[in-house]
Structure 1
Amino acid sequence: MTALLQVRGLSKAFGGVQAVRAVDFDLKPGELLAMIGPNGAGKSTCFNLINGQLQPDAGSVRLAGEEMIGLTPRRIWRLGVGRTFQIAAAFASMSVRENVQMVLIAHHRRLRALLPSAAALYRDEAMALLEQVGMAGQAERACGILAYGDIKRVELALALAAAPRMLLMDEPTAGMAPAERKALMALTASIVRERGIAVLFTEHDMDVVFGHADRIMVLDRGQKIAEGEPEAVRADPQVQASYLGSGAPAGAGWEADA
């Protein structure tokens, strides 16, 4: 299958610190690629370069053959690249359904129709998305009173509302209990594979990474030191020497932040 995302030679320095060094990788539709590494490895910088929040010193980022370097985050979103963040956010005073409707309205370029007809716009579509992520029963509750795990599900619905071809997911299970983490990532994997959405995600829970990623890419000090299927990465001598250690559990030596 042809790659949806092609990253070549991606590099970024901040002063004398080389945050990302000539990183290359591809991402196919329906594939989940985990980007992992210790604190300061360059994961968040890579995300911000791909998403247009930072401009690289060198390199290329192509989505379906179209160069994204130099585009604004809004334009990149319009091309079909969604993003979720480590700290989930929604309009606290609005209902779960209203939050999803707002994204649908923006996606369909209907912002001028917000008043007075907003409450009726894309209501059924919003409810269908909430049903898919298991939040239809809480559609009329204000987001500000939801449990954090439920907010993470709402955030997934918000990302899906823009019909993305690719998702950048920054710590999608951060702040959740272990059982919630596994359930949310299993749900995410099921939905994105069904829809053929490419996913690049970072995650500090190695059980989640090794349990759900199709491939894993390991960064260290801005450089890619390993890439492959989970078991191949787990057995990689350089990864073991740097982080996992002989006989150490899968998560040993890893940090959550980029």
Structure 2
Amino acid sequence: MSAVLETRGLTRHFGAIVAVDDVSFQLHRGELLALIGPNGAGKSTCFNMLMGQLKPTEGQVLLDGEEITGLLPRQVWRKGVGRTFQITATYASMTVVENVQMALLSHHGEILRFLPFATRQYREEALALLDLVSMADQADRHCAVLAYGDLKRMELAIALAHDPKVLLMDEPTAGMAPKERVGLMKLTADIVRSKGVSVLFTEHDMDVVFAHSHRIMVLNRGALIAEGTAEEIRTNTTVQEVYLGGGTVFADEGGAAHA
């Protein structure tokens, strides 16, 4: 199975603190790969290096064999890497379909050229994406009145508007009710199967992780300590000890905490 995303010795220092320590892994095509660990393990720092928000101190990031280490976030996005965040960010004054249309305009490089006529562009394509995430029936509702779970599904449609090769999902079910969590991750798994998108996600709900991941990686104090199937991770004594013992929060020179 070929790797669409790969890291080699990915490392990030904040002063004397090693937040991510020599992390190497491969994300395969059409795979749903979970990255888990205690708070402060280095998950978000790792994500930020993959997406270009942070530059690695050492190591490489490769997409389809091409090095993308140190590229700006918009350059990484153009290469085919999408991302969803713990807290949704949408245009509350716009409708659901208009939000997705804006993402499609950006994907096609027409965000400025057609801005006065945005609501006329790519509506059918936007509706198809909303149908994929079971939101087509709410297309003309304003985002300001949506339930949080619906906002998360809309955010997924927005991320898919760029037709990404890789989708990074940072705690996609954060703030959701248990039933909504299960529904969103089942939806994500269905999209992985139907569209062949490769997904790397972080998550604290172990029921979600064990139910839907093809593989699981465990990060602690910046280093990978385990990798395997759900059953292998569930029975790994080192992983059990890490979760029972909690995690470490790293701080940079300015005193800001980093996961």
**Range class of TM-score, shorter chain:** over 0.9
Instruction: Report the counterpart of residue 164 of structure 1 in structure 2.
Output: 164
- CA deviations over 1:70-103 (Å, ceiling 9, x no partner): 2100000000000000011100000000000000
1:36 aligned onto 2:36: yes
Using the size of structure 2 for normalisation, the TM-score is 0.93
Matched to 1:182, the amino acid is V
Using the size of structure 1 for normalisation, the TM-score is 0.94
Residue 114 of structure 2: SS of its match in structure 1?
helix
Matched to 2:16, the amino acid is G
Per the TM alignment, residue 240 of structure 1 is displaced from its structure 2 partner at its CA by 1.9
Instruction: Report the counterpart of residue 146 of structure 1 in structure 2.
Output: 146
How many pairs are equivalent? 250
Per the TM alignment, residue 254 of structure 1 is displaced from its structure 2 partner at its CA by 8.0
Instruction: Report the counterpart of residue 248 of structure 1 in structure 2.
Output: none
Per the TM alignment, residue 6 of structure 1 is displaced from its structure 2 partner at its CA by 1.0
Instruction: Report the counterpart of residue 12 of structure 2 in structure 1.
Output: 12
Per the TM alignment, residue 244 of structure 1 is displaced from its structure 2 partner at its CA by 5.3
1:95 aligned onto 2:84: no
Instruction: Report the counterpart of residue 107 of structure 2 in structure 1.
Output: 107
Per the TM alignment, residue 237 of structure 1 is displaced from its structure 2 partner at its CA by 2.0
C-alpha contact (below 8 Å) 1:204/1:254 kept by paired residues:
no
Which deviates more, 202-211 or 108-117? 108-117
C-alpha contact (below 8 Å) 1:169/1:199 kept by paired residues:
yes
Residue 3 of structure 2: SS of its match in structure 1?
coil
Per the TM alignment, residue 193 of structure 1 is displaced from its structure 2 partner at its CA by 2.0
TM alignment of 1:58-69, pairs within 5 A: 58-69=58-69
Which stretches in structure 2 are left out of the alignment for 5+ residues? 249-257
Coordinate RMSD, CA, aligned: 1.5
Residue 201 of structure 1: SS of its match in structure 2?
strand
| Residue 238 to residue 108, structure 1, CA distance change in 2 (3 Å) | same
C-alpha contact (below 8 Å) 1:80/1:165 kept by paired residues:
yes
Residue 39 of structure 2: SS of its match in structure 1?
coil
C-alpha contact (below 8 Å) 2:221/2:247 kept by paired residues:
no
TM alignment of 1:47-62, pairs within 5 A: 47-62=47-62
1:242 aligned onto 2:242: yes
Per the TM alignment, residue 234 of structure 1 is displaced from its structure 2 partner at its CA by 1.1
Matched to 1:63, the amino acid is L
The whole-number CA distance in structure 2 between the counterparts of 1:162 and 1:197 is: 12
Per the TM alignment, residue 113 of structure 1 is displaced from its structure 2 partner at its CA by 2.8
Indicate the percent of aligned positions where both proteins have the same amino acid: 62
Instruction: Report the counterpart of residue 252 of structure 2 in structure 1.
Output: none
Instruction: Report the counterpart of residue 255 of structure 2 in structure 1.
Output: none
